[in-house]
Amino acid sequence: MKLSNEQIAFYNENGYLKIDNYFSPAEVGMLYNELPHTCEENSPRVILEDNGSVRSVFAPHFVSEIYHRLSRLDRLVIPARQIVGNKIYLHQYKVNSKKGLKGEWWEWHQDFPYWHIDDGIRNPDLVSVMLYLQDTDSSNGALMLIPKTHKLGIVKFAVKDSPQKTKDYLSSLSSDIKFTVDHKLLKELSLANGIVTASGKKGSVLFFHGNIFHASNTNLTPFDRDAVLLTYNSIDNPPTNSLNPRPEFLAGRNFEPIEQLETSILYAEHQHE
């Protein structure tokens, strides 16, 4: 499960790395079946689209042992440590659902500006890993990426056409996020580097850098696109925003390095599957 030198080199050059068939159908099925148990009614951890469908469920590990085991899985933690180059803890954990015919877009953005400005994390020494719970392609809202843009640092933000609907942390989580990429810059980099669509069957994973430009479309198919996202941070790079810190379900506060790794999320009785 350690990444090869070639995989690390590809990630460092491009800002992302997709690995197919990384989780078994049994593991994906277990995570998918557990989803309803992670989003209790009226929880602040559950972010809804304007149309009422679930957009994100944050911190599923707060209520689910299976999701807690996933966050400590060797197949995720060991590559994340390699990419970050240090011991890691979990900064953010969510399931981004893009329900069929309901899931809205994520405008072109970088993730690190939110963690830098909202949480006070000083350096981009983080890595996100996305686990596909369903077959995902351009039709049902696969992530689009512009390779190599992770090398640009935090870039110029677009000027929003209309004032933000909310001033609270939802302006970082809704389909109208506050920090998006300047459109002139977006066009320049799209022409220069191209746009990659990170399609993958269920069980694929995508490691990606906090500064890479990425976006995803609305889901116009009747097929859901649920994806688990874990963001690991270097233990030497914690949030410094103590004045008005975001809730713990958005910015983790357990800075202990993840050790004693899980070797499977399946319980013993299922591990033969």
- Least separation in angstroms between CB 239 and Fe ion: 17
- The 139-178 site mask, x for binding ligand 6CS (CB under 6 A), equals ---------------------------------xx---x-
d(CA 116, CA 179): 12
Sheet with 54-58: strands ordered across: 16-19, 205-209, 126-132, 225-234, 88-98, 54-58, 46-48
Cα distance between residue 203 and residue 134, in whole Å: 8
Number of residues forming the site for ligand 6CS (CB under 6 A) = 10
Length of the chain: 273
By beta carbon distance, the residue nearest Fe ion is 111
Q: Which of residues 242-271 bind ligand 6CS (CB under 6 A)?
A: 250
Question: Which one of residues 34, 49, 111, 125 is an interface residue with ligand 6CS (CB under 6 A)?
Answer: 111
Q: Residue 92 in contact with residue 231, Cβ under 8 Å?
A: yes
Picked from ligand 6CS, Fe ion, none, the partner binding residue 92 (CB below 5 to 8 A depending on kind) is: ligand 6CS
Q: How many CB atoms lie within 10 A of CB 158?
A: 17
Shorter beta-carbon distance to ligand 6CS: residue 93 or 266: 93
What x-and-dash track marks residues 22-61 binding ligand 6CS by CB under 6 A? ----------------------------------------
Our CB check for Fe ion shows the closer of 111 and 118 to be: 111
The footprint of Fe ion on residues 94-133 (CB under 5 A) is 111
Residue 107 phi/psi, 5-degree rounding, is: -65, 160
C-alpha to C-alpha distances, 166 to 163, 169, 172, 178, nearest whole angstrom: 9, 8, 9, 10
Q: Out of 92, 97, 233, 234, which residue is the one contacting ligand 6CS (CB under 6 A)?
A: 92
Question: For residue 95, what is the enclosing H or E element?
Answer: strand 88-98
Contacts of 177 (CB under 8 A, 6+ apart): 106, 107, 109, 171
Residues that bind ligand 6CS (CB under 6 A): 92, 109, 111, 114-115, 118, 172-173, 177, 250
- Write out the residues near Fe ion by the rule CB under 5 A: 111
